Amino acid sequence: MLKISHISKTFNPGTVNERKALSDLSLELADGDFATIVGSNGAGKSTLFNAIAGTFYTDDGFIELDGRDITFEKEHVRSRYIGRLFQDPLMGTAPNMTIGENLSVAYLRASGGRKGIFSRISKKEKELFRKQLEMLNMGLEERMSSPVGLLSGGQRQALTLLMATIVTPKLLLLDEHTAALDPATASKVLELTKKIVRERHITCLMVTHNMKQALELGDRTLMMADGRIVLDVNGEERSHMKVEDLLQQFAQNAGKSLDNDRILLSTEENV
């Protein structure tokens, strides 16, 4: 489904702030794969997501989605088949628009954004939105015409999840989408995510800082460090892996970059 081959990205090239965020990263996801990604801050997880979603173009390499080369496709074109959730629940919705209006903006993807731009939202579509909202079990279907700004963070994130999947995407990118929610709401949103991904057979990538989640959720675990994928486990190997093993790996990789810094500093001292 998703095929990333040898992508690299350097920010601020040629300046003192030069930073290699992705280096020669390759990744392949099969149709219906649900992979979790762990890695320390600055490992390049969000950069990888931004590269896939098209927030910027990569310096090198190619990205293919469902057999189609999207390397140089614009962000808003890609978002037609890539759903996306951010850590900040406020980012995925428009606060001054009603729940119904938010959903209908998300539903524009169904028509590719071109057909009937002067038409209004039909009764049939409203009924569809209502059915989808009922699925959340939060009573939002009764509040279709109240502004989204009045909802809690958890409700907004659940709504964003609905918006990202209202037209089934080919790929769903979840960037720590439950990190800012309280434990009860987080598990609710997570259950919902699992349900939607399973039922619609969506290929999914999810960043998490919860090692237990990383091993339990989905069917594949990736670890990133220094803009690379340093660990990729699935199947038998993954089912035997414990949180401690993953933590150890994590510390090792985090330590490596720490060591690199130390080496850099010491050589600077010697000079």
Partner 1 sequence: MTVQIVQTALEVGLIYSLIALSLFLSFSILNICDLSTDGCYTLGCAVGAVCTMAGHPILAIPAAMGAGACSGFMTALLQTRFGIQSILAGIIVNTALYTVNLAVMGFSSNVSIFGTDTIFTLFKGLGDSEMWKSWYKLILLACIVFAAALFVRWFLSTRLGLSIRATGDSPAMVRASSINPAFTVTVGLCISNSFTGLAGCLIAQYNKQSDINLGTGMVTIALASLVIGETFFGRGSMGWRIFGVIFGSCLYRFIISLALRLNVPTEAFKLVSAVIVAIALIAPKAKNMIMFSRHRRRALKSRAGAALKEKGERKNA
Q: Which is nearer to partner 1, 11 or 81 (CB)?
A: 81
Shortest separation between residue 191's beta carbon and partner 1, angstroms: 22
Joined together, the tokens standing for residue 192 give 């919902």
Shortest separation between residue 94's beta carbon and partner 1, angstroms: 4
- Residues with Cβ within 8 Å of 136's Cβ and at least 6 positions away in sequence, in order, are 158, 159, 162, 192
| Residues within the interface to partner 1 (CB under 8 A) | 53, 55, 74-77, 79-80, 83-84, 86, 91-97, 101-102, 104-106, 108-109, 111-113, 116-121, 163-164
Shortest separation between residue 240's beta carbon and partner 1, angstroms: 37
Shortest separation between residue 115's beta carbon and partner 1, angstroms: 9
Shortest separation between residue 33's beta carbon and partner 1, angstroms: 21
Rounded CA-CA distance 48/227 in Å is 8
Q: Which is nearer to partner 1, 164 or 246 (CB)?
A: 164
Q: Which is nearer to partner 1, 30 or 94 (CB)?
A: 94
Reference 125, options 157, 159, 149, 101; nearest CA is 101
The answer to whether the CB of 84 falls within 8 A of the CB of 28 is no
Q: How far is CA 105 from the centre of its chain?
A: 20
Rounded CA-CA distance 39/249 in Å is 10
Q: Could you write out the DSSP letters of every residue in 189-248?
A: HHHHHHHHHHHHT-EEEEE-S-HHHHHHSSSEEEEEETTEEEEEEEHHHHHH--HHHHHH
Q: Which is nearer to partner 1, 78 or 228 (CB)?
A: 78
Shortest separation between residue 172's beta carbon and partner 1, angstroms: 11
Q: Which is nearer to partner 1, 26 or 146 (CB)?
A: 146
Rounded CA-CA distance 200/190 in Å is 15
Q: Which is nearer to partner 1, 103 or 223 (CB)?
A: 103
